[in-house]
């Protein structure tokens, strides 16, 4: 049976500033590269059989760090690119609330049905993510494989909602997803089952080092 490792990319430069990245092609920060390296160390013990990635640089760079030394070339798939936040990309939530409060409140109440101005709703994104999942399950079946999928915060949360049968409208309220977080899903008789959610235990040495440098824990 295959196991599918859905991974949020390492920290991007805009993540560090709490800005919405969406489809904007923002690179990894230095911290994000360190996070990806820690994740790669953890995953080399598998080792992975196939690596899929979003085309966006922050995901592709994370995938390339994971692939280093494995002999694998990450396979780019547009369907796991991040949700398009339209006019809100590059803004913080505080900035969005200040300039587009009514639209933000409508989106926040039901992000699956409502899209940001010029952007994509969670439901629209979920449709392409489900197609990717169905193809993934059909392609990797009947044998023990470890499949890496490097994507994004909202993509991971929507995929988990689908696996658990949660309404897509709940993805922001019910699920957290940190940078370089690891999620594992597996096929089951009823479709999919969740094995691991939002695990960042591989980053603990980074957090401890940062706390030590600041003199706090």
Tens of pLDDT, residues 185-216: 999 888 899 999 999 999 986 544 443 333 33
Sole residue written with tokens 């990806």: 36
In this structure, the dihedral spanned by the alpha carbons of residues 200, 206, 208 and 210, taken in order and rounded to 10 degrees, is: -130
Q: Does residue 82 carry a catalytic annotation?
A: yes
Instruction: Decide if 22 contacts 124 (C-beta within 8 A).
Output: no
Q: Does residue 9 carry a catalytic annotation?
A: yes
Nearest to 134 by CA among 64, 185, 59, 62: 185
Is the pTM above the cut of 0.95?
Answer: no
Instruction: Decide if 18 contacts 92 (C-beta within 8 A).
Output: yes
Question: Hey, what are 161's tokens?
Answer: 């909602």
- Alpha-helical segments (H) within the chain: 30-43, 57-67, 93-109, 122-139, 153-164, 171-174, 204-214
Residue pLDDT, tens place only, 15-73: 999 999 999 999 999 999 999 999 999 999 999 999 999 999 999 999 999 999 899 99
64, 82, 89, 120: the catalytic one is 82
Question: Hey, what are 92's tokens?
Answer: 């913080």
Domains of the chain: 3-214 (3.40.50.1240)
Cα separation, 96 vs 117, whole angstroms: 11
């Amino acid at each position: 049976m295959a196991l599918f490792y859905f991974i949020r990319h390492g920290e991007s430069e805009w993540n560090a500033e709490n800005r919405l990245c969406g489809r904007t092609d923002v690179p990894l920060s230095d911290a994000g590269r360190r996070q990806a390296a820690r994740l790669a160390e953890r995953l080399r013990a598998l080792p992975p059989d196939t690596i899929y990635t979003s085309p966006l640089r922050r995901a592709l760079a994370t995938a390339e760090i994971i692939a280093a030394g494995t002999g694998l070339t990450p396979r780019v798939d547009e369907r796991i690119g991040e949700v398009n936040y339209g006019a809100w990309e590059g803004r913080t939530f505080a900035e969005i609330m200040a300039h587009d409060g009514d639209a933000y409140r409508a989106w926040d109440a039901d992000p699956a049905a409502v899209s940001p101005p010029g952007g994509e709703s969670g439901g629209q994104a979920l449709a392409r993510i489900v197609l990717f999942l169905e193809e993934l399950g059909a392609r990797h079946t009947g044998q023990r494989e470890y499949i890496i999928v490097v994507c994004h915060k909202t993509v991971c949360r929507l995929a988990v909602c689908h696996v658990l049968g949660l309404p897509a409208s709940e993805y922001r309220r019910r699920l957290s997803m940190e940078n370089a977080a690891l999620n594992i899903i597996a096929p089951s008789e009823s479709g999919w089952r969740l094995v691991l959610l939002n695990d960042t235990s591989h980053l603990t040495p980074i957090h401890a080092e940062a706390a030590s440098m600041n003199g706090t824990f």
